[in-house]
């Protein structure tokens, strides 16, 4: 599971858009957003670049958290 910082994620609509974008790539992905910390944990069968591109396509810049 990889954690991503998504500074612009601030509401339920944001989390739904991100979850939808990731699940479009991998329907079985696990997507766990945390609005308080503005992070999302994702476990998916696609690579990190595809996940970042999907979130960016929805308007959310994300960076992996070490």
Cα–Cα distance list, 49 to 12, 13, 35, 55 (Å): 24, 23, 22, 10
Does 66 have pLDDT greater than 90? no
Q: Which two tokens stand for residue 22?
A: 């990731």
Which element (helix H / strand E) includes 36? none
For residue 16, the SS3 value is helix
Model confidence over 1-16: pLDDT tens digits?
A: 999 999 999 999 999 9
Model confidence over 41-51: pLDDT tens digits?
A: 999 999 999 99
Q: Which fold has domain 2-65?
A: Alpha-Beta Plaits (3.30.70)
Domain ranges across the chain: 2-65
* Residue 61: other Cβ atoms inside 10 A: 12
């Amino acid at each position: 599971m990889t954690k991503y910082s998504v500074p612009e994620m601030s509401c339920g609509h944001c989390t739904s858009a991100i979850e939808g974008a990731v699940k479009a790539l991998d329907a079985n992905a696990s997507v766990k957003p945390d609005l308080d910390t503005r992070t999302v944990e994702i476990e998916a069968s696609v690579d990190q670049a595809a996940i970042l591109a999907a979130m960016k396509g929805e308007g959310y810049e994300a960076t992996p958290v070490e």
